[in-house]
Amino acid sequence: MFSEKIAESSLEYFVKSYVFNKSKKKTIIFIHGLFGTSGYWLTFLKYFKNFKILILDIDYPKIFIENPNKINLHKLLESMLEDYNEYILISHSMGTVLAQYFPEKKIKISYEICPIKNSVKNNKKKFLKEIDSVTNLSKKEIKNILEKATIFLSNSGIENKSLNKKQYFPKLDLFFNEPLISENKQLFEGSHFNITNSISMINKDLTIN
């Protein structure tokens, strides 16, 4: 379990992980968004019964407070995943930004749901209200985390164009605008926080490939 005593240079200080279906060969790693938790994926696991499942529980505020370059997130993740030869990433929202720090050579494909890297923020007040309704944090704390998240986002580097990835955008996203839809970008019925249909599309894609 997570412990404050864990050294800040250790990945465990920022990320906990849960592994299920350990005997399966192919691995999927799930990366939740900023105000989410590992539990966000629980209802979606039924779509991925044939995979080894690694679910991360990420303490984003801690990552934001520690400069990700200072802690070398990439190296910490590389070390955590050294026993894995290849994996599929499924990430949501801020998780799609964190996905960029994963060792790319081992990524078979990266599925990004509601990626925010190049999106334009909409309805900031409504977004704040939405987050306020699903967390125990005060408005001040939420604003503080969002400010730090914006800095993290702007420092997160250039998007890797060579990575094999597919992006899924909700037809209606009240909070983020992504104007460009191309071959690897698909629309799904849903919203920024209702992503069930995108999971279903990813499941189909994995079945075909």
Partner 1 sequence: MKNLEKYKNVFIEAFQIKESQLGGLKYQDVDEWDSVGHMGLMTELEEAFDIEMDIDDIIDFSSFEKGIEIMGKYNVVING
The answer to the question of residue 23 lying near partner 1 (CB under 8 A) is: yes
Tokens of 137: 């944090």
Tell which residue, 164, 168, 167, 202, has the closest CA to residue 86: 164
The answer to the question of residue 137 lying near partner 1 (CB under 8 A) is: no
Q: Which of 10, 12, 26, 38 binds partner 1 (CB under 8 A)?
A: 38
Tokens of 73: 């997130």
Give me the phi and psi of 147, to 5 degrees please: -60, -45
* Segment interacting with partner 1 (CB under 8 A) among 16-24, 60-68, 139-147, 186-194: 16-24
The answer to the question of residue 55 lying near partner 1 (CB under 8 A) is: yes
Distance CA 84, CA 147 (A): 34
Q: Which of 6, 9, 20, 194 binds partner 1 (CB under 8 A)?
A: 20
* Segment interacting with partner 1 (CB under 8 A) among 50-58, 89-97, 115-123, 177-185: 50-58
The Cα angle at residue 96 between residues 92 and 99, in degrees rounded to 5: 125
Could you give the string, one character per residue 97-136, with x where binding to partner 1 holds by CB under 8 A and - elsewhere?
Answer: ----------------------------------------
By beta-carbon proximity to partner 1, the closer residue of 49 and 204 is 49
Q: Please report how close the Cβ of residue 47 comes to partner 1 at its closest, in angstroms.
A: 9
| Local structure of 119: helix, strand or coil | coil
Please give the C-alpha separations between residue 5 and each of 9, 13, 17, 66, 80, in angstroms, as whole numbers.
Answer: 11, 8, 17, 16, 19
By the criterion CB under 8 A, which residues form the site for partner 1?
Answer: 1, 18-23, 37-40, 42-43, 45-46, 48-49, 53, 55, 57
